[in-house]
Amino acid sequence: MDIVRRAVPDHAALLAAGVPPVLARVYAARGVRSPADLDTGLDTLPSYASLKGIDAAARRLADAIARQERIVIVADYDADGATACAVGVRGLRAMGADVDFIVPNRFEYGYGLTPEIVDQAVTRRPRLIVTVDNGIASHEGVAAATRAGVDVLITDHHLPAATLPPTPWIVNPNQPGCAFPSRHLAGVGVMFYVLLALRAVLRERGHFAAVPEPQLAALLDLVALGTVADVVRLDRVNRALVAQGLARIRAGRAHPGVSALFTAAARDPRRATSYDLGFVAGPRLNAAGRLADMSVGIRCLLADTAAAALPLATELDRYNRERREIEADMQDAALAAIESVGGVDDAFTLALYDERWHQGVVGIVASRLKERFHRPAVVFARGKEGELKGSGRSIAGLHLRDALDVVDKRAPGLIARFGGHAFAAGLTIAEVDLPRFRRLFEAVAREALSPAQLARVLETDGTLGADELGFELARATRAAVWGQGFEAPVFDGRFEVVEQRVVGSGHSKLTLRRADVADRTRYPAMLFGYADPLPAGIRAAYRPDINEWNGSESLQLVITHWQPDEG
């Protein structure tokens, strides 16, 4: 793997505003040009008014509240869908709505507002169905609801097809003609904005003379969790939403379900970071939808007391441990299958299937393979009646949903269903069509990618001076909001390995001394998932972190990649 240092644009304005030099370089490399771009206050959020269709949606919801019509939210079975559902239920109930929810079981009904899910929803006797994090491709589901006399309001963020479902109520920043400044809102962010618009309509109608006006900012811990867990790009809008949600969690004002997820993972919410949302709370919430029923996760987020939330969070933690075991077995089998055909040197893509694999875990395994081999990867598991359910992850240069669209156009009928984003997508094909899909997917990738784009490159933020690597930098980077498209800073340098010992389940605890600057300080460091002896000198990519032990804090380097130091 080549280590490449990011180019650093001019950052004089950031320095002039008092941003520390290291952070000024880091922010500039991520597109920040002005100190105002770092402001994550609520007043920096754009108005809901530019979201296409939001006024009509808000009026329809206000009418439903005024007429006390039953509303049923149809959720998705991932963390974004679960948090969006919880935000919708809590926000609508706070404004006086009669609202319930259902969430499809991915193994029985698949994704989205299908006619079968409409049949389930109709048993709750709704007058209005609201989708969260799904619906933009649900033409048949909307038609089925209309035949049943039920209106459908779609809130979604996925990319639409050429035509939209037949309903006048659609809110999606990616629909044609939408002028909202962020295309990257997660499903939970879209639902939050719909509630802001609804509250404004209810104010105009005098609704809050009889009902207390809700403080919707109280929902931002849920918005932050869903946004980070869905790995959407952290543009300025999403960074503000996440920063505000993290502030509530750190201040002890999270909902009981969010706090319980931290408790189940033995993490302190007062020190919550975006890492905790993406890699601690998010996976536990996702595990329910992957292995069982996401209603467990939604009920956790809707719990109003710690006593009610903690047993549900404990169950989610158990699911997550089970998911990790399944994932490890699937990944071992996938690597063995790749090795059996001589590796991936000549291939631009990976498309793997094993009849033993778990449908709920294919997306994680696809992500692991994409990271390991730096190639678009699709992993399939057996579905119903000869179908394969696949989940894919992609690299820069290949828009995965668009690539599947090209395959679909070249071989109509090959893909029964597909949808998603640039870097993640899902699809369904017939098992007998897997070889043909592999050939076409490989051909499309070869047209879009060059061999150079398949080379693994690690971008870093360069080296640090002797006076720059310290506790204050670790504290500052830990407190900031990082994620997809706004990656946490990683630095590189040359080190002497002074000491190494194995701890835990195959991790290395190190003592390092810098070899690239005149600094004889010994730095404690961790190298996770590696226990073999290291050479005396290494070049390492690392991030400064804070080690917490027995109530005290100290600087610790976390090694993310290393290679022998060749001087």
- Residues 305 and 173 placed together within one structural domain of the fold: yes
Provide φ and ψ at 417, rounded to 5°: -150, 145
Residues 439, 348 share a domain: yes
Same domain, 386 and 516: no
Q: Give domain status of residue 201, yes or no.
A: yes
The answer as to whether 32 is a domain residue is: no
Residue 430 lies inside a defined structural domain of this protein? yes
What percentage of the chain has pLDDT greater than the value 70?
100
Q: Is residue 347 part of a domain?
A: yes
> Residue 487 domain-assigned?
yes
Sheet with 169-171, side-by-side order of all strands: 98-102, 70-74, 128-132, 151-155, 169-171
Q: Are residues 292 and 144 in the same domain?
A: yes
Mean predicted confidence (pLDDT) in 503-516: 94
Q: Which residues are within 8 A (CB) of 116 and not within 5 positions of it... i.e. 6 or more apart?
A: 109
User: Residue 68 belongs to a domain with what CATH number?
Assistant: 3.90.1640.30
Rounded CA separation 39/301 (Å)? 29
* pLDDT surpassing 90 at residue 520: no
**441 and 465 part of one domain:** no
3-state helix, strand, coil in the chain (%, to 5): 45, 20, 35
Q: How many domains does one find in the chain?
A: 3
Which pLDDT score, from 0 to 100, does residue 209 have? 94
Is the residue at 544 inside a domain?
Answer: yes
Confidence check: pLDDT of 94 > 90? yes
The alpha carbon of residue 41 and the mean position of all alpha carbons in its chain are separated, in whole angstroms, by 22
pLDDT at position 385, please? Answer: 87
Q: Which residue has the tokens 């996760």?
A: 297
22's enclosing H/E stretch is: helix 21-29
Domain of residue 147, residue span = 45-317
Residues 427, 532: one domain? Answer: no
Check which CATH number belongs to the domain holding 535 and give it: 2.40.50.460
Mean pLDDT over 255-279 rounds to: 96
Rounded to whole angstroms, the Cα distance separating 526 from 549 reads 14
Residue 108, judged by CB atoms within 10 A of its CB (0-12, 13-18, 19+), counts as exposed
Looking at residues 202-219, what average pLDDT do you find?
96
Structure tokens at 224: 């932050």
Q: How many residues does the chain have?
A: 567
Does 278 lie in the same domain as 224?
A: yes
Domain assignment present for 9: no
The CA-to-CA distance between both ends of the chain, in Å, stands at: 17
Q: Residue 255 pLDDT > 90, yes or no?
A: yes
Residues 121 and 206 in one domain: yes
Report pTM.
0.94
Q: Of 317, 349, 382, which residue constitutes the final position of a domain? A: 317
Which CATH number belongs to the domain containing residue 438 in this structure?
3.10.310.30
Last residue of a domain, one of 426, 454, 482: 454
pLDDT band at 534 (very low <50, low <70, confident <90, very high): very high
One DSSP character per residue, 87-137 reads HHHHHHHHTT-EEEEE---TTTT-SSS-HHHHHHHHTT--SEEEEES--TT
Query: Do 523 and 479 share a domain, yes or no?
Result: yes
- Final residue of a structural domain among 424, 454, 484: 454
DSSP 8-state symbol, 536: S
Flag whether 30 is in a domain: no
Model pLDDT, residue 496: 97
Does 448 share its domain with 471? no
Checking if the pLDDT of 106 tops 80, the result is: no
Residue 485, pLDDT above cutoff 80: yes
Structure token digits, residue 12: 């004089």
Do 380 and 402 sit in the same domain of this protein? Answer: yes
3-state secondary structure of 470: coil
Same domain, 193 and 272: yes
